[in-house]
A and B are shown apart, each in its own frame.
Chain A
């Protein structure tokens, strides 16, 4: 299933956890634990707007925006 999940993610589209759960006939918690495993193994990685932010703001209000807390993972291999 992990291989199928990775294959599925290779299509370059965005998928929600709920969508992946429906496609694989699993519950959301199962998918989350599988994604955590894939993240630990380096197959996917979390995308965060806070990455590389040194809070040297210079007028940037990026971290004030609610979307800065949005959680996303991207496929890396």
Chain B
């Protein structure tokens, strides 16, 4: 009959609590460590007539006195309450979980190393030579699956043999590294300490902790050595820089050596392919990324266009019989026109827009899913530098491709206010899903197969626009020139997860469709009402009078008044432009329906657009629309995130001005081309 106290030590998620529960079952008590908010878990179990008390120490990464958990853990071990320390490490990621073991080396309390999650390790094809590890470490090494109580036998055997009680973790390998790497500093500090260490701490362990400027180690030493020696120690420590990094380096080297000799990874190691090397190289990365984006846009069009045609035809097919039927049952022509022109056209537009969003989401979602998208961010980092931005600004930009509001709120990752506002201003130029939808629809209608060139030119000008924006606002906003380094986790290439990819694409398409239907139908009905007159003469409508009044000015930007109205409405939400166009270019259908002389056909809209709007005007509209402010919600998010209405309005004014200037330029270029 004997009583033994064992303590479970390890980093969070190493399986300590699972083992604790497995060992103690219901015989456990949960409370707090005295005077601390850190949870204390104690329990017990009997084995072969002996009682074992188990203490589940707080999960910590090391024994430094940096946190309350680490202090509690270290004080418990130093207090001599434990007979045996069980150090847990995750065998499936051994290299990352042996730091605690390295930090423990030099503490003279018997220990065992428990390699948890051996099942995962085996599945990974890793072979761990536990006997080799035992020889090098001088302590028992027990492979285990903490979640499987049937596999605790090796652990119980070690406890019963009591051999563990006398096993101290060897520190000679680490001590050699400390002496080599920390050199004179290590030797000078070591000489000032008692040769045999203090209490459970070896002299090398204490020396290293002092070099790390560990507060607890300093107080332990202060109580033991004389004042003169302590003063000398203070002088020595004062001249040491990065002691924690240098000692940690030694621990990592020790772990690496331990792994090399005792762990064989028979699993397939992922090597970087030639493509990946090129895709992330300074020379080829950017051309490949641009090529992939262009290809992505072309494929998006190829996917989206047939769907757009299908939905357009479907709505037209419904529209004619529906309006005939409504007229035949005596529905007022006014209502028929409202439903079949304003509402059905809006539905048609929303569906066609969502079709293009489907194409673009599928293609770029695919790139993300196979792991390529992160490489684009990696490759374009120095572009961020040229814009005077931190590399992490790429995150809100990429989010803006889906939604500008998300992009604006995503700028919270930027620390400095100036850079944050600058990033917001630039993220407005990134086209969101709705912008792509409208651009795809309008450019497809006017430019057919040449639409892809129009889209590419918009994309290229967007980069130029961002650069000009930076030049204009950079001086005031971006005074901090300092850029910090970034480390990126590039996911390995893998096959796409089709189910989740399509799930996400349909989800996005559904969101866009819902929003588009709401906005387009609302705007369409509002403009339809503004264009309505009882006598059927559109020229006496309010909107016509306003439009023709402002047209002399709008034509300077290449925009007929209807397109200017669409541009202005797009500031509320990009989809609103389609609502305006659905109403203002559908007047023939409206009036003939009102007169009851013909059935309504939404297909007439395309023809109407093509006959009323010239290609240069359409090009001007696309540029004005593309570079307009994203939407009112994005504007509100910018004001909220920047805490500056002044800067929000300044950026908004700049965007509207630039959009009109670019529309004028595009119009004149269009006149030369078409």
Footprint of B on A, CB under 8 Å?
1-3, 6, 8-20, 26, 29-30, 32-37, 40-41, 44, 47-49, 51-53, 58-68, 70-76
Output the nearest chain B residue to A48 by Cβ-Cβ distance. Answer: B413
Q: A6-B245, A29-B93 are in contact. Are A64 and B403 (CB under 8 A)?
A: yes
Per-residue interface assignment for chain B, residues 388 to 430, with 1 indicating a CB less than 8 Å from any chain A CB and 0 otherwise? 0011100110110111011111101100000000000000000
Task: Let me know if B99 is at the binding interface, CB within 8 A.
Answer: yes
Query: Quick one: which of B636-650 are within 8 Å of A by CB?
Result: 636-637
A62 touches B403 (CB 8 A): yes
Known contacts being A15-B487, A16-B487, A58-B637, is A65 close to B245, with CB within 8 Å? no
Alpha-carbon distance A64/B605, docked complex (angstroms): 34
B511 near A: Cβ within 8 Å?
Answer: yes
Q: Decide if A33 touches B95 in the complex (CB within 8 Å).
A: yes
Distance in angstroms from A76 CB to nearest chain B CB is 7
State the CA gap A74–B124 with chains docked (Å): 30
Given contacts A9-B487, A35-B487, A72-B395, contact A14 B381 (CB under 8 A): yes
With CB as the reference atom, state the residue of chain A lying closest to B411.
Answer: A49
B495 at the A/B interface (Cβ < 8 Å)?
A: no
Report which B residues bind A (CB closer than 8 A): 61-62, 93, 95-96, 99, 242, 244-246, 248-249, 252-253, 255-256, 272, 280, 365, 368-369, 373-374, 377-378, 381-382, 385, 390-392, 395-396, 398-399, 401-403, 405-410, 412-413, 482-490, 504, 507-508, 511, 633, 636-637
Q: Is the interface of A mostly helix, strand, loop or mixed?
A: mixed
Whether B405 pairs with A2 at a CB distance below 8 angstroms is no
Contact yes or no, B252 A71, CB < 8 A: no
Distance A6 CA – B410 CA, assembled complex (angstroms): 27
- Are B252 and A74 interface neighbours, CB within 8 A? no
Contact, CB under 8 Å: B406 / A60: yes
Residues B488 and A32 in contact, CB atoms below 8 Å apart: no
Contact yes or no, A37 B399, CB < 8 A: no
Question: Known contacts A9-B486, A64-B402, A72-B486; can you find 12 more A-B pairs with CB under 8 A?
Answer: A1-B249, A17-B488, A17-B489, A29-B95, A33-B96, A51-B412, A60-B405, A60-B637, A64-B508, A67-B373, A70-B374, A70-B398
Cα A44 to Cα B483 with chains together (Å): 14
* Least CB separation from B271: chain A residue: A18
B396 CB contacts on chain A under 8 angstroms: 49
Which residues on A sit within 8 Å (CB–CB) of B504? 66
Alpha-carbon gap, A9 to B381, bound state (A): 14
Known contacts A65-B399, A75-B484; A18/B272 CB under 8 A: yes
Q: Is the Cβ of B483 less than 8 Å from the Cβ of A12? A: yes
Query: Which of the residues A32, A64, A65, A73 comes within 8 Å of B486, measured between beta carbons?
Result: A73
Say how far B424's CB is from chain A's closest CB, in angstroms. Answer: 13
Query: Are B413 and A14 in contact, with the CB atoms below 8 A?
Result: no
Can you list the 10 inter-chain pairs with the closest CB atoms, starting with the nearest? A62-B406, A9-B485, A12-B483, A14-B381, A71-B489, A61-B403, A67-B398, A33-B96, A65-B402, A66-B368
